[in-house]
Structures are given as C-alpha cells and as structure tokens.
Amino acid sequence: MNCYDYIIVGAGSAGCVLARRLSEDRSTRVLLVEAGPPADDFWIRAPAGMGKLFRSEHYNWCFETEPVPTLRNRRIYWPRGKTLGGSSAINGMVYVRGHRRDFDHWRDLGNPGWGWDDVLPYFRRSVCRPGDTEKGSESHGLLTVSDPSVLHPAALAFVEAAQRTGLTRLDDFNEGEQEGVGLLRATIRNGVRQSTYDAFVAPIVARRPNLDIRTGAHVHRLLFAGVAATGIEAEIDGQIQRFHAAREVVLCAGALSSPHLLMLSGIGDAEQLRRHGIATVAHLPGVGKNLQDHFAVRVQARTTREGSYNQYLAGWRKYAAGARYLLTKGGYLALGSSIAAAFFRSGPQVAYADMEVSFRPMTVSYAGTSEAVVDDFPAISASVYRVRPDSRGEVILRSADPMQSPAFVPNYLHAPEDIGAMLAGLRRLRQILAMEPLASFVLEELVPGKEVRTDAQWIDYMEREGQCAFHPAGTCKMGNDRMAVVDARLRVQGVERLRVVDASIMPVVTSGNTNAPTIMIGEKGADMILADQRAASRAA
C-alpha cells in the first residue's frame, strides 16, 4: 500500500503543480506528502488574513536566521508556509514573474531550455485572468491572477508620482519588461486567496484516486539503494513509516527545507556530513550554498484621512469591513499585501532594473502580539529592496536530528554593492513621496523620519530595522559547475531517480516576488519528468 510511482515531498507552490500534472495519467500513482496540516481556515481564504498567519505556528514554520553580523547581530524572522499550498497559503499573493533577462541569464549560465522564450509558455499555462476571452481549461489556466479589488486613491497617486520621477507606466509587469510603475496583480479569485493547492489540487482530490495526499507527514530522510533514490522515511502521528517510489522522488520542500533534507539523507558536503555522523551518498558541496533573499527596508508616512485605508480596518469599522467581505467577498479584506510597485535601476551602470518599491496605502504593527494589527491612524507604507542582491548566504546542517531546523545564514548587506543600491532605492522612494499627487496625501514621514539624511544615517537605519522580503532561493542551484546541485533537467547530480523542483534551483533569484516563478518551475519540472519517463519507456 505504500508503493507509488512518484513521491513528491512538499505541497507548496511547485509541489501542488507537480501533483496535478503527474497524476493526470490515471495509471500513475502519486504520493504528495506535507509536514503541515490541511489548509482549512477562514484566514487562509481571506486575503487580509495574511496578517493573522504571519506568526501562526500552526500554519507557519516561523523560522529565524542566525544572528546577522551586518544587522547588529539581529535574528531575522523568516515565515514559511506549513500547510497544503505551502507559502502560497500564507504569502502576500503578489504575482510577479520576473524580468526576461533573469531567465536568459539562467540559460547563459549553462542551463539550456531556461531562457525567457522557453519558460514563458509555462507561466502562461498556469494562469487564467478574469475577463480573458480564453478561459482556463482542464489542462491549463488553473490559477486566477486578478487586479486589485479596490483602487485606492493613494495607490493611483503613487503610480502618477513615480511617473513624474521619470518612470514609465506599465499595464503588466509580467510580460518580460519590468522597468516602470504600475498596479500589481495577485493570486486572488473572486475575493478569495488562491493557493496552489486551491488552484491545482483541491478541484481533483475527489476524482483522482491515484493521487494520495498525506498531511502531518514530516519526512526524516530519503531512502536509497546505492545511489538510486527509492523512497522516503516519514513520521506520521508519532510513527515512522516508509514509502517507496518506483520511478522518482521529487523534493519540493522549498529553498530552506529541500537542502536540509538532502543533507540529512547523505547528499551534501562530505566533511560536513561526516561531522554529524551521516554517511555520504553523494559529495555535493553546493547543497545549502548560494542562499539569496531580498533584504527589505520600509518607509512609513502619516497621511490625510483620504490617503490611507487604515481607518476602515481599525476600531468599529473593521467589523463593517468584515461584514462586507462576508457578504460580497469585496472591499479592503480582499486585497493582497501590496497594490502598486515601481521597478527601477539603482544607477546608470546597471543593465536593467535592480530595485523594487512595493507600495500599500495602509500600515500595521505587532505591538508584542503574534498578529499584525492595523494602525489606528491614517498612514502609508512602502518597502524597498534590491531584487538581484550580490550577497550570498547558506543553509548549514546543525544536527542529524531531522526535527531540528538547520542554521540559516543570510549574510544580508555583506556585499558593498547591495548597500549602495539600497541607498539609491530609498532616496528614489523619498523622491516619489515628495512628488504630486502623492505629496498632497503625505503629512510627515514616520519611519525612519526626516532627520535621516546622510548615507551613515540610512545605513544605521537599515542595520537596525531592515527585514527580509520572504523570498529565499538558490540553495540547490541548477548548473554544471562544481557548486551546482541539479542539472538543467533538475536531476540531483551524482544520484539517480531524484530531482529538486522548487525555488532552491534558481541560480540567481528572480527580479521580484518568487511565487510566480516557483509555480513555473513546477510546470516545467513536471514536463521534464514526464518526457524523461516516456523516453525511458521507449528505450526499454
């Protein structure tokens, strides 16, 4: 009963796509295992519920980094989804594919088939947009990507103000060119969050008996016969169970957990594995290396009442907003984390936009609680981050105990180029805030405050207050050099019947939010697996 053709570890942004595609052949048995619980919660479905999920230990791994020397030895909080849908069930829902040059660069690094023209069909295959003449079908168009449900005046003012600083207005950030300003699209369908589980798996669960889903299944290690992956060992309800794969095991556990599971299973730097008493199956020193994330710095400003929607989500009015959402699935509770964004270059020497500003006409604080609480005064917030940082970190095995998380070392701002770019980005944001028509809404800058002017003051603020943008990637990078972990077909090097299909395979993180490209990786990875299986069958 525990034998399958394919075993997929992790029901996140890529794993759910794979489960859908690999199970389309009803003669193929597929197992999808997820460490977290089912995603049955009102606050997962309601887009505004992301604030309640930000530190929810039930649906969130709530990771923390090691102390970061460049950030005053602060530990940075890293939320990661722990439920069906993975991080797509708790994220800000922003859908940004990245710049065409991101993928052409992947191809030029020695990964044929990963250029923009190669991956664009996979992006398009996933998505259905309301109002499109060609609706989604059984084989594609499963994920709804929609425009903001409310066009707040401050968001429109941000777009116009950014245009007046020299940026071009873009109707869509997702067709390969990003430099400019515009409104963001989100994975929201009729006012309800669409995680990858909702879009790809939930509609087929009842009618695909060949797809088996196990939640609460914490995978301890992969099983091998020699160098061939044969299955997994997982803990379910306190019991250790083994599951066997006749064809392949596919890791989709994400940029933090996929390298961890590889190391626990004997794939990684042999010396590091030996220190923890783990026998080496394959010496791959790049496992866990090349960690990249978007380091974010926020600016907040108090506004006129018309410049923010805080007042509609605070005090007694939040109950009215809740009632409106329950009745219509509309209003402010149906919005994603950011409504508008601007992409621009930090300097003339940069080939294409390397900075992003994400804008929202509202602010939240935590005030010692585990939930984000909307402030009771009108204000706006924007986050600045370099979308292609030069700094690199790593995931380090801390113990052979699979229940102990590894050490996360992000090395934010380790590269001087990242500091210079962030300074340019923050100054550009201030220029936008000071430009009409947005300037008419702004009363005063709250964070960091107008007294912060010099480079030294800005750097001090970044070190004290900077956080992550929740986009870790790159820790099982695709390539053909000595630090590569998977090849261009996402097969783990040095072993057989094992692939990694998630954000960890990115050689360089994409220019923007990472959920959309991770879904694309799932689509392309599924096609590769099926094509290779057909080729093997013909050869046999």
Q: How far apart are CA 84 and CA 76, in angstroms?
A: 25
Q: How far apart are CA 153 and CA 434, in angstroms?
A: 16
Residues 6 or more apart whose CB falls under 8 angstroms from that of 368 comprise none
CA 246 to mean position of chain CA atoms = 30
Cβ-based burial of 398 (10 A; exposed 0-12, middle 13-18, buried ≥19): middle
Q: How far apart are CA 521 and CA 119, in angstroms?
A: 8
Q: pTM for this one?
A: 0.96
The answer on whether 277 is annotated among ligand-binding residues is: no
CA-CA distances (angstroms) from residue 390 to 76, 369, 422, 456? 19, 34, 12, 21
pLDDT in single tens digits along all 540 residues of the chain: 699 999 999 999 999 999 999 999 999 999 999 999 999 899 999 999 998 898 899 999 999 999 999 999 999 999 999 999 999 999 999 999 999 999 999 999 999 999 999 999 999 999 986 654 444 433 358 999 999 999 999 999 999 999 999 999 999 999 999 999 999 999 999 999 999 999 999 999 999 999 999 999 999 999 999 999 999 999 999 999 999 999 999 999 999 999 999 999 999 999 999 999 999 999 999 999 999 999 999 999 999 999 999 999 988 888 999 999 999 999 999 999 999 999 999 999 999 999 999 999 999 987 655 677 899 999 999 999 999 999 999 999 999 999 999 999 999 999 999 999 999 999 999 999 999 999 999 999 999 999 999 999 999 999 999 999 999 999 999 999 999 999 999 999 999 999 999 999 999 999 999 999 999 999 999 999 999 999 988 887
Q: How many helices (H) and strands (E) are present in the chain, helices listed first? A: 13, 26
Other CB atoms within 10 A of residue 202 CB: 16
The answer on whether 93 is annotated among ligand-binding residues is: yes
The answer on whether 515 is annotated among ligand-binding residues is: no
Main-chain dihedrals φ then ψ at residue 331, nearest 5 degrees:
90, -165
Supply 23's token pair: 């199970």
Short-list 195, 126, 183, 124, CA closest to 149: 183
User: Is the alpha carbon torsion for 231, 232, 237, 240 positive or negative?
Assistant: positive
CA-CA distances (angstroms) from residue 54 to 78, 140, 333, 356, 527? 9, 31, 16, 22, 33
The answer on whether 219 is annotated among ligand-binding residues is: yes
Q: What is the CA radius of gyration of the chain?
A: 23
The answer on whether 15 is annotated among ligand-binding residues is: no
What is the torsion angle, in degrees rounded to the nearest 10, for the CA atoms of residue 458, residue 416, residue 162 and residue 300?
Answer: -30
Short-list 416, 350, 352, 424, CA closest to 385: 424
CA 197 to mean position of chain CA atoms = 15
Q: Which CATH number fits domain 3-71+80-539: 3.50.50.60, 3.40.50.300, 1.10.540.10, 3.90.110.10?
A: 3.50.50.60
Enclosing H/E stretch for 182: strand 180-183
Locate the domains of the chain by residue range: 3-71+80-539
58 part of the active site: no
